Amino acid sequence: MASKTTNSDQTGEQQPKADSTEAQFPDLTVHAEGTADRLRRVNEPGKADCLETVEVELAVEYDIDSYDEWRNLVDPDYAIHGRTVEKGTIIDDLLDRLEGHYRRQSSSRYEAPDWNLTVTGSATAWRRLLMEFSQMRGSGSDRAHKGTLRLKRLLAADLVDTGAALAALELINQYDLDRSTDTFIAEVTDSTDGE
């Protein structure tokens, strides 16, 4: 059984903003695929209600609509001295958004090794997230430096796509940052080798 969900507008029409000065959040999409248990209530005549567990393969897509949603998904400031991303927690949160009741089969709070999880977006979207929407203080150069560090952590956690690596390379070039580009170049090279 496969399932797919998205919160994006099915008609493709742009909805007018209540406040015309409010900037539109960059187009970032969460993709998650894996195995989960679906709990459903069984109500047969003459028998007590019970819950039945059905194993399902899920493919979930979720468009991130605001910086608060981004922070709820993955706090970019998370765990300076520990894990950058709690993958299992993110997937649990995504499953909670679905209709019905789903539960991951793996018990690992952090890893969820049986799930693929990626946040995708263009280089422009990632740059806008870091430079316009992230609540970082300092000059453009300071924010770009912090932003590339955050992107490097998210790449190391295998959470983001090539667009994030390209955004980091653009920021390093634009602001002439004294930062190694090896990690970002390796990501771009790996993605182009596979195509």
Q: What is the CA radius of gyration of the chain?
A: 19
pLDDT 10s digits, 75-127: 766 555 566 788 888 898 899 888 778 999 888 878 889 999 999 999 999 99
What pLDDT is attached to residue 116?
95
Mean pLDDT computed over 178-189: 95
User: Which one is predicted more confidently, 194 or 148?
Assistant: 148
User: Which one is predicted more confidently, 14 or 103?
Assistant: 103
What pLDDT is attached to residue 2?
46
What pLDDT is attached to residue 52?
80
pLDDT confidence bin for 10, thresholds 50/70/90:
very low
User: Which one is predicted more confidently, 125 or 71?
Assistant: 125
Q: Are 39 and 103 in contact, with CB atoms under 8 Å apart?
A: yes
pLDDT confidence bin for 13, thresholds 50/70/90:
very low
Highest mean pLDDT among 39-48, 56-65, 82-91: 56-65
CA–CA separation, 65 and 110 (whole Å): 25
The kind and range of the H/E element at 190 are helix 182-193
Q: What is the separation, in whole angstroms, between the first and last Cα of the chain?
A: 29
Of the candidates 129, 13, 115, 3, the residue with the CA atom closest to the CA atom of residue 65: 129
Residue 105, helix vs strand vs coil: coil
Positive/negative CA dihedral, 188, 127, 157, 160: negative
Q: Give counts: helices (H), strands (E), the chain.
A: 6, 5
Q: What is the 3-state secondary structure (H, E, C) of 30-58?
A: EEEEEEEEEEEEECCCCCCCEEEEEEEEE
Residue 134, helix vs strand vs coil: coil
Positive/negative CA dihedral, 164, 184, 85, 96: positive
Q: What percent of the chain has pLDDT over 90?
A: 48
Q: Are 97 and 139 in contact, with CB atoms under 8 Å apart?
A: no
